[in-house]
Amino acid sequence: MSILSLPDIAGMLIMMGLLLWLRVQYRDSRVDLWMIGLTFILIETVAVAVFRSKAFTQITHVIALDAYVLAGVSFSWATRKDSLPGKLGLPLSIVPAIPLLAIATIYGLDVTSRIPYLYVGGVSLAAGIGYVWLKVRGGLLRRTVLLGIHLGIWAPVVLFAMHGQLRWMVYWGLTGLYLLVAFSFRGVVRRDRIGGLVIVTGFVIWAMCFLLHPVARPLPEWNGVLQEIWNMQKFFVILGMVLVLLEEQTRRLHEEAMHDALTGLPNRRLFEDRLTQALERSRRTGMSAALFVLDLDGFKSVNDTLGHMAGDLVLVSVADALRSKVRGSDTLARFGGDEFSIVVNDLVRSEDCERIKDALRSTVEGIILPSGARDHLTVSIGYALFPNDAQTASSLNETADAKMYEQKSHKRELVSR
């Protein structure tokens, strides 16, 4: 084994160890397939190191090339954004990968005859055209695009084989495969995050390395430069994967901080921000906004009689029922305990508030309580209209709360009589 490859192998192991630690911490199942792909790349790195020492050249050449193909499939499978028809959800890259694996193996064994390459390439070209046109669903445009991708990979492969340009043939196939892998990772690219962009950039650089390899191979002065870039993009990809995990964990923590753990609804912090936005929108459009405050009556008796688990089920049922009645432009939140709040945008008439109030009451009071609880659930609802009842978020809250507690007090008086 060439000693020059040891830092590369050590770096790969360290980065893979970091990724594996993040997998344990964040329980992201995609990392399993990422780790499989990186394991193939590690195998390729070791095989190349042995190849450079002039030992077992044929077998190590085969292992290195096949590892590239298998790694590409593993990386692509982790995204499954572009899948073939069928229950397994096989990645689109599996189409060129299977025959490319055969071609890479034959080439690694130093077979110089064009016949096996032409046979595999020709059959793959014809079979792929038939498969894409007959099996892939999604309309004419999708099939035409996929057919173009397939022809872009395999037509040059067949032409290179016909002219005996075997190195170009193999590395053109690998270029196409890794561009497909880069394309499959487009789903993890987000405007406000860098991880997905780093991954895609790494795979594009990788594809360009394959493309330039036949050019640089006969030029010793460029071999060293290309080799450095070749080593760099591996760490580019791993770094991008680490960043994606950290960014998604940060987003998850932010979501948890802004949402109620039991119901998944926005909590007070997020709701207050949405209420402020609603008032600003109302000032711009000239339309009214309303704040509704709901408090379940006698909910404590459900917890005392049936236990907190039953009480939690009731709260989840209330949240689901209210969620089904709230428009996408409005916001429903749980303020803790048995209190819910709703901000309704774009009201034209103040009379709409009474209609909404009646609809909310019917929705909540129609929920069936667990066996052993009282007959039905009741709710007290107060509301305040902006700008008629109040002009600020805090005063709107105070007005709606006051109306809700006034209604609750009235119910208690009726019960005490």
Say if residue 85 is preceded by a cis peptide, omega within 30 of 0.
no
* One-character DSSP codes across 325-392: TS-TTSEEEEEETTEEEEEEEEE--THHHHHHHHHHHHHHHTSPPPTTS-S---EEEEEEEETTT-SS
Token pair belonging to 40: 């193939």
Residues 6+ away with beta carbon under 8 Å from 171: 210, 211, 213, 214
Q: Left, alpha or beta for 54 (phi > 0: left; psi -120 to 50: alpha)?
A: left
Q: Say whether 338 is catalytic.
A: yes
Distance of alpha carbon 362 from the chain centroid: 38
Single-letter code of the amino acid located at 146: L
Decide: 200 and 189 in contact? Cβ < 8 Å.
yes
Residue the block writes with tokens 């019917």: 362
By residue count, the chain amounts to: 417
Token pair belonging to 54: 């002039």
Kindly name the residue from 28, 66, 260, 338 that is annotated as catalytic. 338
Query: Tell me, what DSSP letter sits at residue 187?
Result: G
Single-letter code of the amino acid located at 256: E
Distance from C-alpha of 373 to C-alpha of 227, rounded to nearest angstrom: 73
**CB count, 10 Å around CB of 203?**
26
Q: Identify the CA nearest to 79 among candidates 64, 96, 94, 97.
A: 94
Sign, CA dihedral 318-278-358-411, equals: positive
Distance from C-alpha of 282 to C-alpha of 267, rounded to nearest angstrom: 22
Residues 6+ away with beta carbon under 8 Å from 295: 338, 339, 340, 379, 380, 381, 404, 408
Single-letter code of the amino acid located at 245: L
Token pair belonging to 296: 């379940």
**CB count, 10 Å around CB of 220?**
8
The residues annotated as belonging to the active site are 338
